[in-house]
Chains A and B, each alone.
Chain A
């Protein structure tokens, strides 16, 4: 079954404690991205990757890091989380031509930073 898997689904952490949210896809997609979803703001792109070792900033990259060492994995790293990073996070993947092909989303990770 084609899917994007994120872990964990829920996470409560304290300010400043480094965390990683994992994302893995089994569709051999080149393109992967991370979004955060906040009420009234829709989905905003944090970072994206066009292929292995190729990453770039999206619209709201501050406070986040990513890496793309393997095609299937695209972890999101928060080196020093702050309360304003409390949000619902989604990983997505798509085939080449990301601008005009279907994006497949993970189930989401609800992060609370206290």
Chain B
């Protein structure tokens, strides 16, 4: 079955700097790769997703890249702000799947 590995488990960056979180997946059939943000005391919330027919997607300060050959995908946050502090989860799935497989999460802290 699908397995998603996520690194690093914790990340601390200076406010204004960039943060990068990386994930790898095992099932070549996966074609949907969402990223969820979990703030303290709340459930995960989708922030961006990418499908296998594109290599990059951007939404303001957030971008996701996908390398299907290497089975890698990454989340890039530029100009980090205090409100970016949260736990981030990558995930992988495919259209007819009954579930999405999550990575183990990255706790991102933004230093003032």
Cβ < 8 Å to B, chain A residues 30-48? 33, 35, 40-45, 48
Nearest-Cβ distance from residue A24 to partner chain B, whole angstroms: 14
The complex places the Cα of A45 from the Cα of B1 at a distance, in Å, of 13
**Contact across chains for A108 and B93 when beta carbons are under 8 A apart:** no
By the criterion CB–CB under 8 Å, are B98 and A103 in contact? no
B31 touches A100 (CB 8 A): yes
Q: Does B97 contact A (CB under 8 A)?
A: yes
Residues A90 and B44 in contact, CB atoms below 8 Å apart:
yes
Q: Among A35, A99, A107, which residue has the most Cβ atoms of chain B within 10 A?
A: A99
Q: Given A40-B9, A90-B44, check contact A33 B99 (CB 8 Å).
A: yes
List chain A residues, Cβ under 8 A from B96. Answer: 97, 99
Contact between A100 and B94, CB atoms less than 8 A apart: yes
Say which residue of A44, A99, A106 sits within 8 Å of B94 (CB atoms). A99
Contact B99 A48 (CB under 8 A): yes
Asked if A105 CB lies within 8 Å of chain B CBs, one says yes
Q: How many Å lie between the Cα of A92 and that of B35 in the bound state?
A: 15
List the B residue with the shortest CB-CB distance to A91: B43
CB distance from B21 to the nearest CB of A (A): 13
> Once the chains bind, are A40 and B104 in contact (CB under 8 Å)?
yes
- A40 → chain B closest CB, angstroms: 6
| Bound CA–CA A58/B32 (angstroms) | 19
Residue in chain A with minimal CB distance to B6: A42
Q: Which of chain A's residues has its CB closest to B90's CB? A: A42
Given A50-B98, A98-B99, A102-B34, 12 additional A-B pairs, CB 8 A: A33-B99, A40-B9, A42-B105, A58-B99, A90-B43, A92-B43, A98-B97, A99-B94, A102-B46, A103-B36, A103-B44, A105-B43
In the A-B complex, list the 4 residue pairs whose CB atoms are closest, starting with the nearest.
Answer: A105-B43, A99-B97, A100-B32, A99-B93
A-B contact pairs, 29 of them (CB 8 A): A4-B43, A40-B9, A42-B102, A42-B105, A43-B44, A44-B102, A45-B99, A48-B98, A56-B98, A90-B44, A92-B43, A97-B96, A98-B93, A98-B100, A99-B93, A99-B96, A99-B99, A100-B93, A100-B94, A100-B95, A102-B34, A102-B46, A102-B49, A103-B36, A103-B46, A103-B100, A105-B36, A107-B41, A108-B41
